[in-house]
């Protein structure tokens, strides 16, 4: 049986209604809210065959456990978008589509992971991959910050990131890591090939083995006074260089 998860906020719950309404077991709304946004949300839920239950704001606070819920909380079965990375790559091979993956080495801040997932969805990333022992899971904060992207972009947690990277190489995925000391610029990458961006943790960067397993290391040009970018911002910059090249 699937484990249950709590979804809080309009974006997270609306995305689940849109993509997998059958996984929602219970839907609660704040009884005192009757504004247009809530009315539209209730209509969408009812159209999906789900009747929201009005409850007090205090009860929603308890269910959301500190996450900003905006008057909307759903209890749902956890949804798996993919079994493993090979499943995704096999589908892409059948379609003749070059893979675009995002590997996160040790991102433990849920706000950063949520932002990375949101950017990954916007950039057309096929999967986000992270190690189980050095990453945050898809908790309520991640779901809220991702604004629905946790329901559209597979988030695959692996036991050994370096081993997964070597398996990706065997599947002809080019691994590009970011490093402040690299000689090459991100604008020199060949983004039309099947590839994966490999991003390091907040403040620490890539671990040694992760860095050594990459096929190529590049830096993000920095012309201001700050030394580095937040991992979610850096991921956006790198992913959209790939998008730019693939759309040209």
CB 102 within 8 A of CB 126: no
DSSP H or E stretch at residue 55: strand 53-55
Contact yes or no for 105/36 (Cβ under 8 A): no
According to the annotation, is 229 in a ligand binding site?
A: yes
What is the rounded distance in angstroms from the CA atom of residue 104 to the CA atom of residue 94? 26
Contact 196, 175 (CB under 8 A): yes
Is 124 part of any known ligand binding site? Answer: no
Q: Are strands 53-55 and 155-158 parallel, antiparallel or unpaired?
A: unpaired
**Rounded Cα–Cα distance for residues 90 and 92 (Å):** 5
184 is in an annotated binding site: no
Closest CA to 114 of 144, 152, 135, 77: 144
Q: Residue 156: which H helix or E strand, with range?
A: strand 155-158
How long is the chain?
Answer: 248
Joined together, the tokens standing for residue 126 give 């096929």
Asked if 17 and 46 count as a contact pair (C-beta separation under 8 A), the reply is no
Residue numbers in the known binding site are 200, 220, 229
Residue numbers in the known binding site for S-adenosyl-L-methionine are 200, 220, 229
């Amino acid at each position: 049986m699937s484990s249950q998860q709590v979804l809080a906020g309009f974006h997270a719950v609306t995305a689940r209604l849109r993509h997998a309404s059958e996984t929602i077991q219970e839907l609660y709304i704040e009884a005192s809210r009757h504004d247009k946004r809530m009315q539209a949300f209730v209509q969408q839920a009812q159209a999906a065959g789900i009747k929201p239950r009005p409850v007090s704001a205090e009860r929603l606070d308890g269910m959301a456990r500190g996450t900003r819920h905006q008057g909307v909380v759903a209890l749902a079965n956890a949804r798996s978008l993919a079994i493993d990375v090979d499943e995704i790559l096999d589908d892409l091979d059948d379609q003749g589509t070059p893979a675009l993956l995002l590997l996160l080495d040790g991102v433990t801040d849920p706000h950063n992971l949520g932002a990375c997932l949101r950017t990954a969805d916007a950039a057309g990333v096929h999967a986000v991959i992270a190690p189980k022992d050095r990453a945050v899971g898809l908790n309520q904060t991640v779901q809220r910050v991702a604004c629905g992207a946790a329901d559209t972009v597979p988030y695959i947690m692996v036991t050994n990131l370096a081993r997964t990277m070597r398996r990706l190489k065997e599947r002809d995925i080019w691994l590009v890591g970011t490093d402040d000391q690299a000689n090459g610029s991100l604008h020199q990458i060949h983004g039309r090939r099947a590839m994966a961006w490999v991003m390091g943790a907040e403040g620490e960067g890539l671990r040694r083995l992760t860095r050594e397993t990459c096929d190529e290391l590049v830096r993000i040009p920095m012309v201001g006074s700050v030394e580095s970018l937040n991992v979610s911002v850096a991921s956006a910059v790198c992913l959209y260089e790939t998008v730019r090249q693939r759309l040209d």
